[in-house]
Chains A and B, each alone.
Chain A
Amino acid sequence: MPVTYKKTVAVLEGVCTVEEAEDLLIWLQNRPRAKVNLKRCTHLHAALLQVLMATGVPVSAWPEDPGLRVWLEVALSSHRCAGQGWEGGGQRGGPKKRAAMGPASGEGSASV
């Protein structure tokens, strides 16, 4: 089970696939105060990422996977202050995202 739903926390683990997106969305819609725990998540499908971004759900634990963490921290913490819209650009990005993309590139490329 890549996604486990606890009382107020959805725990995403391992590789979370597109099938989870709708369940997660519905779950989050019904629980405005819920959080997500991404500690053991190594990858989540773009559809899930979208759900997390759109619902603005707070993250109770960030992924241990540094590559993923870099992406998510930027995507999930900045959108709420982006009242001026994403297209405004330029005003975001913090020290966290600078935690170097090195590890992500080291994950190995599938394109042989």
Chain B
Amino acid sequence: MNPLLAEFITESRDLLEQASQGFLALEKTPGDAEILNGLFRAMHTIKGASGFFEIGALTRLVHAAEDVLDAVRQGELELTPDRVDLFFEALDRVGEWVDSLEAEERLPPEAEETSAGLAGRLRGLLSETNGRRPTGSGEAVAEKRGDEDAGSAPRMSEPAPSWIVEVPEDVRRELYGVGGEGGSRAVAVTYTPDEQCFFTGDDPFHTARQTPGIRWGRVETREPWPPAEELDPYRCVLRFRLVAAASVEEVREWFRYVAEQVEVHEIVPEKWGAPVGTPEDRALGAAVEILRAQIELLAAPWDPDIRLGVLESAAAVMESVLADLGNGSEVGRLAEARVAAQGQGSGEPLRGLALEILSRLLGSDGARQGEPGEWPSSQPRETARERSQQENGASPGQKIRVLKVDQTRVDALMDLVGELVVAKNALPFLARKAEEVFKVRDLAREIKNQHAVINRIAEELQGAVMQVRMVPVSHAFQRFPRLVRDLSRRLGKRVQLVMEGEETEADKNVVEDLVEPLVHLVRNSLDHGIESPEEREAAGKPSEGEIRLRAVQLDDRVWIEVIDDGRGMDPKALKRKAYEKGILSEERLETIADEEALHLIFAPGFSTAEQVSDVSGRGVGLDAVRAMVDRVGGSVNVESTMGRGTCIRMALPLSMAVTRVMIVEVGGETLGVPIENIVETVRVPTDEIHRIKCHEAVVLRDRLVPLCRLVRILDLDGDATGSGEEEAVLVVSIDGRELGLVVDRFHEGVDIILKPLEGIMAGFRLYAGTALLGDGRVLLVLNLRELVPCL
């Protein structure tokens, strides 16, 4: 894809997101000038950038939105919720089109029509303008504008900057006469971009190149270049100077986002563009130009085989220039310089001479510039701001270094760390081998010491890399204000969304995967949880419901909770529903505990709503939540109190890279069990195991825990009857149900890098994946949820 388009797509998405947040904020604080300006800017930027592509439909729609926003900004139009809806509709369409641009690099065929319709409706709002004079915040906007104008007025009357003397003669000539009767239409612009501007996505060079009416431009550095090794490519030290045939207003409009970084001067080409002076003067001007060209030519690095030719021709040109100027005395020096240059094979002697002649010529040139009305003072003016920027630039301690790194590179790093962890785990085995096989105890001890060191470094490295991948969950949360607003309006409910702990960080993949399940959960809470205002009032609750999104970090997990204060869930209704849908067997219907029943909402094909609404309840959704949570190795938990509300909590790993498992031994095999499923490990005397029909169970702390002999289920060789005195039981929790796994032996817990099963093995759902142990063995990790149907 065209990189410019790719950039446009990401940028537009961000801006659309910003815009919808802006509209939401505006509903809370109507008329906030800053938010309005932000909105307007967002629309304007999208519109501007869209102009590069053949997507007129998008441009026109955004343009319409921008115009209406401008009217709002002027206080001529009020933003009612209905109007905001219209804006949201427009934003959604634009969002869809951006998606389509990404997928197919073009707009959907119906875009033209949709755009015309929506743009028409938006513009229709303009006819509704109440014509009132701005009130309240509107006035603030007007005042601010007034201030700006007042502030810029004196600047306009300042004399043109000195550097315009560098503008070549023909550009001046071209500008001469552009003005016409309306007066001059030429401006000189000095654009000094902010040092950090690259981080805000600016491309000052692009901005400068596209200046309306640009006729001449130059880019230069604000400070001498450091050696290449010390250059910070992301600190902008450029300055642009341009001359444009445009009005001050046009240019200011163009640079309005960087207004404080731009100095615009109106210049009068008649004053400096007219070919003034005597013919001698003009000859002098030509000589200056020619000499400058030679200096450039000589400074450029040339291939050795053509360098001599270049020197030759430069010397010849200089000779004729000197002859033209009637300056015979320099000819002798020129000949010397020519010989020296050829001898050295470098243009330096010639260049030196040319510079010398040039400066002499310009000396007289400069004297002429002093004439009244010709040139402004040639003293370079430095504003206080520029000076302070240079000072800032000079102090080395202030660099902000933010790197944009492709995620694949970080992933590659993560993989390497994973391999390092595995390789490191081999050292204890080596130590044991040294001691037991080779009988070198000292060596074994030293290997252990080294292992401790490498272990520490590997752990720190792992932590550091994981830190790089951490992003705040606010990335996932940010779309919810809009979602809640739209849905609650559609459902006729009043809901307040509260977000907590948005700054909590988690692995990028976890946060990205979080979005979809959260959408389902929030929708579900809105649709099924929160009651209508009347119902709420009747129940003695405030008419406005509350949905709370909360993120908390707890050790190596992050809890994401969706809490509503709605009607709560009725376990009995859930059970009945599940039974009707065939999710629950009759037998289970009798025994299932209430807490367990709440988890039924995650079963595939389960929907409690009596009617399928267009919001949720299509029977898909919540099972997707559990699928995602499983995929990242988390767990999900439901608590609900009738009439008080529901809390659904997802406990997700902070990072998906490393999984902690407990190793157990069953029938001579070692197996891993994810630590998050484990409730406890107990040793149960054989005579405490009860038999209920053909099922074994044990009572632990007054709970009946069914037992499951892994040996039997996995069909491994070993004692499947339990003839020993006691049994090792691993109590695990699967979707709120407890289950005791009878194993032969417990081993330690280890950190592993879990690799999913691939190829033919991918069908073995019983295993979540494999991991390499330090001694080179492969550990199979159980997928407990798949184990349950095997019972």
Which chain A residues have a beta carbon within 8 Å of chain B's beta carbons?
Answer: 2, 14-19, 21-22, 24-25, 28-29, 43-47, 49-51, 53-56, 58, 67-68, 70-71, 74-75, 77-81, 85-87, 89-98, 100-102, 104-105, 107-112
Contact of A71 among B209, B289, B300 (CB under 8 A): B209
Docked complex Cα distance between A22 and B12 (Å) = 25
Contact of B216 among A17, A101, A107 (CB under 8 A): A101
In the complex with contacts A77-B299, A79-B225, A109-B220 CB distance below 8 A: no
Given A87-B380, A109-B212, A46:B301 Cβ within 8 A: no
Q: Spell out B's residues near A (CB within 8 Å).
A: 2-4, 7, 47-49, 51-52, 59, 63, 162-163, 165-166, 168-171, 174, 193, 198, 202-206, 209-210, 212-222, 224-226, 228-229, 231, 233-234, 236-238, 244-245, 253-254, 289-290, 292-293, 295-301, 351, 355, 358-359, 362, 380, 403-404
Interchain CB contact under 8 A, B218 and A75: yes
Q: How far is the CB of A91 from chain B (nearest CB, A)?
A: 7
Contact A29 B299, CB 8 Å, known A15-B2, A85-B224, A101-B217: no
Q: Which 9 A-B pairs have the closest CB atoms?
A: A46-B205, A81-B299, A94-B293, A21-B233, A54-B225, A86-B220, A98-B168, A46-B204, A110-B48
Contacts of A45 in B (CB 8 A): 198, 203, 205-206
What is the total of A-B residue contacts with beta carbons within 8 Å? 185
Q: Which residues of B contact A109 (CB under 8 A)?
A: 210, 212, 254
- In the bound complex, residues from chain A placing their C-beta under 8 Å from that of B226 are 54
Shortest beta-carbon distance from B406 to chain A in Å: 8
| A57 nearest CB across to chain B (Å) | 9
Complex contact B205–A81 (CB within 8 A): no
Minimum CB–CB distance for B98 against chain A, Å: 17
Assess whether A55 is in contact with B219, with CB atoms less than 8 Å apart: no
Q: Which residues of B contact A81 (CB under 8 A)?
A: 295-296, 298-299, 351, 355
CB-defined contacts of B355 to chain A, threshold 8 Å? 81, 91
Please state if A50 and B166 are interface contacts (CB–CB under 8 Å).
Answer: no
Closest-CB distance, A32 to chain B (whole angstroms): 8
Which residue of chain A is the closest to B403 with respect to CB atoms?
A22
Which residue of chain B lies nearest to A28 when distances are taken between CB atoms in the complex? B228
Contact A111 B299 (CB under 8 A): no
Contact status of A112 and B231, CB under 8 A, knowing A94-B293, A101-B215: no
Which residues does chain A contribute within 8 Å of B298, judged by CB atoms?
Answer: 81
Q: Show 12 residue pairs from A and B whose CB-CB distance is below 8 angstroms, ordered by the A residue.
A: A25-B228, A25-B233, A45-B203, A49-B205, A50-B221, A91-B292, A94-B296, A95-B290, A101-B171, A105-B214, A110-B48, A112-B47
B3 touches which of A2, A98, A107 (Cβ 8 Å): A2
The interface residues of chain A lying within 8 Å CB-to-CB of B170 are 98, 100
What is the minimal beta-carbon distance from B177 to any residue of chain A, in angstroms? 16
Kindly list chain B residues whose C-beta atoms are within 8 Å of the C-beta of A80: 299-300
In angstroms, Cα B280 to Cα A109, docked, is: 40
Residues of A contacting B52 with CB < 8 Å?
110
- CB nearest to B289 among chain A residues: A95
**Contacting pair A18 B203 (CB below 8 A):** yes
B220 adjacent to A71 (CB under 8 Å): no
Are B219 and A71 in contact (CB-based, < 8 A)?
yes
With a cutoff of 8 Å between Cβ atoms, the chain A residues found around residue B300 in the complex are 58, 77, 80
The residue that A25 contacts in the complex, of B231, B244, B245, with Cβ under 8 A, is B231
Which residues from A are CB-within-8-Å of B229?
29
Known contacts A47-B234, A50-B233, A90-B362: does B63 contact A112 (CB below 8 Å)?
A: yes
Cβ contacts under 8 Å, A54 to chain B: 221, 225-226, 228, 231
Closest to A105 in B: B214
Closest residue of chain A to B233 (Cβ to Cβ) is A21
Tell whether A17 pairs with B7 under 8 Å between CB atoms, given A29-B228, A81-B295: yes
Residue numbers in B under 8 Å from A15 (CB-CB): 2-4
Which of the residues A17, A18, A78, A98 comes within 8 Å of B171, measured between beta carbons?
A98
CA distance A112 to B55 in the complex (A): 14
A88 to chain B, nearest CB (A): 9
Selected from B7, B166, B245, B296, the residue in CB contact (under 8 A) with A90 is B166
Are A89 and B166 in touch, CB under 8 angstroms? yes
Which residues of the other chain, A, contact B293 by a CB distance below 8 angstroms?
Answer: 94-96
The answer to whether A86 and B221 touch across the interface, beta carbons within 8 angstroms, is yes
Q: Is A50 touching B236 in the complex (CB atoms < 8 A)?
A: yes
> Which B residue's beta carbon lies closest to that of A68?
B209
Contacts of B220 in A (CB 8 A): 75, 79, 86
A98-B169, A100-B170, A101-B214 known; 18 new pairs, CB 8 Å cut-off, are A15-B3, A18-B234, A21-B198, A24-B233, A43-B209, A46-B205, A49-B238, A50-B237, A71-B209, A71-B218, A81-B299, A89-B162, A89-B380, A91-B355, A91-B362, A94-B295, A98-B168, A111-B253
By a CB distance below 8 angstroms, the chain A residues around B233 are: 21-22, 24-25, 47, 50-51
> Which chain B residues border A55 with CB–CB below 8 Å?
228, 231
Q: In the complex, what residues of A have CB within 8 A of residue B301's CB?
A: 58
Q: How far is the CB of A76 from chain B (nearest CB, A)?
A: 9
Return chain A residues, CB-CB under 8 Å to B59. 112
Contacts of B231 in A (CB 8 A): 25, 50-51, 54-55
Closest Cβ of chain A to B5, distance in Å, is 10
Q: B3 contacts A17, CB within 8 Å?
A: yes
Nearest CB of A to B35, in Å: 23
Q: How far is the CA of A69 from the CA of B419 in the complex (A)?
A: 49
A18 pairs with B198, CB closer than 8 A: yes
Give the CA-CA distance A71 to B293 in the complex, in Å.
Answer: 16
CB distance from B370 to the nearest CB of A (A): 14
A91 touches B358 (CB 8 A): yes
Chain A CB within 10 Å — which of B59, B203, B301, B403 has the most?
B203
In the bound complex, how far is the Cα of B418 from the Cα of A69, in angstroms? 48
Contact B292–A92 (Cβ < 8 Å)? yes
Residue numbers in A under 8 Å from B380 (CB-CB): 87, 89
Residues of chain B within 8 A of A50, CB atoms compared: 221, 231, 233, 236-238
Q: How near does chain A come to B111, taking the closest CB pair, in angstroms? A: 18
Which among A51, A79, A104 is the interface contact of B209 at CB below 8 angstroms? A104
Q: Which residues of B contact A104 (CB under 8 A)?
A: 209, 214, 217
Q: How far does the alpha carbon of A78 sit from the alpha carbon of B299 in the complex, in Å?
A: 8
B228 contacts A44, C-beta separation under 8 Å: no
Least distance between B377 CB and chain A CB atoms (Å): 13
